[in-house]
Amino acid sequence: MSENTTERAADAGPQVQAPAAQAEAPSGAVLAGSAETAAAVTPGAPEAAESAPGGAAEAAATLTGEQEETTSPADGDQEQAAAERPSGRGSRRRQLEREGEVAADFLETLLDICDLDGDLDVDIDGDRAAVSIVDSDEGRVPRRLVGQDGAVLEAVQELTRLAVQSETGERSRLMLDIAGHRAARRAELVRIAREAIEEARRSEEPQSLEPMTAFERKVVHDEVLAAGLTSESAGSEPRRYVVITTSA
């Protein structure tokens, strides 16, 4: 795969044989179909696939164990360190490309089973594989795949990570976007973070932001780190939030 974004048609033939009842499932039952498909693609994780539709926040904590960390200038870039493992940058890039390919195959199958339109863009974003489901020539991506506050998107992302982990044997930190939801939310979060940074500098008082998901908090932490300030997460899920301060 080249460094350029690779577009893959989501109407490609299914990679996994699905029961007839599942193939005929109405598109409104996206999560149920996703869980059953993930269980078929990832035979080692049926319990996790069943738990994902229950909530994106719990899925992120239970299925991947991934948590965003507080960031400050002293912390350094942990993701950059991960990218520089002894295996080398070239090997790491090939691994991320492989993750993207497996994820795209899984999502193609899922869209085909649910009879939903959409094309797939595969890329690498920093130290993550990134896959986006975008509108196709045949039709728009159903916005119900995003769900309220991105809840359905988070669940589908966790199922996709499970499929990748089953195929590669490595835990995946792949990022999924659907219909540009994450891209739009990221731009909004950058604006919110910059405003809070300026207020923290002006007032020299800690600035607490609204509760956010792990993905959203990570975007804010990165922006604060780039500005040379300190941030940390406080509170408990699902109302965990970021606090920005001017001191280390």
Closest residue by Cα to residue 213 from 155, 126, 132, 143:
155
CA–CA dist 16, 40 (Å, integer): 8
User: How far is Cα 152 from Cα 49, in angstroms, rounded to an integer?
Assistant: 13
- Do 157 and 58 lie in one domain? The reply is yes
> Does residue 219 share a domain with residue 99?
no
**One domain for residues 78 and 174:** yes
Query: 107 and 68, same structural domain?
Result: yes
Q: Of 83, 117, 106, 121, whose CA–CA distance to 157 is shortest?
A: 106
Q: Are residues 111 and 209 in the same domain?
A: no
44 within some domain? yes
Q: Tell me the β-bridge partners of 164.
A: none
Q: Are residues 14 and 109 in the same domain?
A: yes
Residue 144 domain flag: yes
Helices (H) and strands (E) in the chain, counts: 9, 7
- Kindly state the DSSP code that residue 103 receives in the 8-state scheme: H
Residue 175 sits in the same domain as residue 188: no
Say if residue 43 is in the same domain as residue 112.
yes
pLDDT tens for the 248 residues of the chain, in order: 434 444 444 444 444 444 434 433 333 444 444 544 444 434 444 444 344 444 444 444 443 444 444 444 444 444 444 444 445 678 999 999 999 999 999 999 999 999 999 999 999 998 899 999 999 988 899 999 999 988 999 999 999 999 999 999 999 999 999 999 999 999 999 999 999 999 999 999 999 999 998 889 999 999 999 999 999 999 999 899 999 999 76
Residue range(s) defining the domain that contains residue 210: 184-245
Q: Helices marked H in the chain — which ranges? A: 20-23, 30-41, 46-51, 56-59, 78-83, 89-113, 151-168, 181-203, 214-227
**With contact defined as beta carbons under 8 Å apart, do 171 and 64 qualify?**
yes
Say which CATH number the domain at 214 has.
3.30.1370.50
Whether residue 1 is contained in a domain is answered as: no
Would the pTM count as exceeding 0.85? Answer: no
Query: Do 222 and 203 belong together in one domain?
Result: yes
- The verdict on 33 and 146 lying in the same domain is yes
Distance, in Å, from the CA atom of 10 to the CA atom of 12, rounded to the nearest integer, reads 5
Residues 103, 60, single domain; the answer is yes
Among 130, 154, 179, the domain-final residue is 179
Last residue of a domain, one of 179, 204, 223: 179
Same domain assignment for residues 157 and 240: no
Q: How far apart are CA 241 and CA 77, in angstroms?
A: 21
Q: Are 116 and 178 in contact (CB under 8 A)?
A: no
Total structural domains within the chain:
2
